[in-house]
Amino acid sequence: MYARDNVAGASDLQQHSLSDAVVQSATTTLGMLADATRLRLMACLLDGDQDVTALTAAVGAARPAVSQHLGKLRLAGLVTMRRDGRRARYSVADPHVRRLVTEALYTAEHRVTDHPAHHVAGEADPPARAPR
């Protein structure tokens, strides 16, 4: 009996080699989330769309810095922006981004606390935010 005889079904990503474009896009996405302020902004947006004023207060950064980070997140396709009168409201771009951010925060939470890894997609609320 060989190991390959008991192979479980592979995902689409495992069955096909990844294109350079897909790898580059994933690298860009993960790089955007590797910044603490941007990750905090994304965590805030998990609760729903918000404007720059609310996000500035939530992350404790200067308004110009928050605007710059939101611009980068928007260019990377991680957030969307819509106008509400004179205000710009930002939200998480899609369910894949939402899940990526949530899972990254769950993973980190379990690594720095004694909470067991028990989350099932869509079952629990996003991890609690650490005090700033």
84 bridge partner residues: 87
Q: What pLDDT was estimated at residue 17? A: 85
Place of tokens 């965590």: 43
Alpha helices in the chain (DSSP H): 12-15, 20-33, 36-45, 52-59, 63-75, 95-112
Spatial distance between the Cα atoms of 87 and 63, rounded to a whole number of angstroms: 14
Question: Rounded to two decimals, what is the model's pTM?
Answer: 0.77
Question: Which tens digit of pLDDT belongs to each residue from 17-74?
Answer: 899 999 999 999 999 999 999 999 999 999 999 999 999 999 999 999 999 999 999 9
Place of tokens 């609310």: 54
What is the residue extent of each domain of the chain? 19-112
Indicate the fold that domain 19-112 takes in CATH. Arc Repressor Mutant, subunit A (1.10.10)
- Find the helix or strand (DSSP H, E) in which 82 lies: strand 79-84
Q: How far is CA 15 from CA 9, 12, 18, 75, in A?
A: 9, 5, 9, 30
Q: What pLDDT was estimated at residue 119? A: 61
User: What strands lie across the sheet with 79-84, from one edge to the other?
Assistant: 50-51, 87-92, 79-84
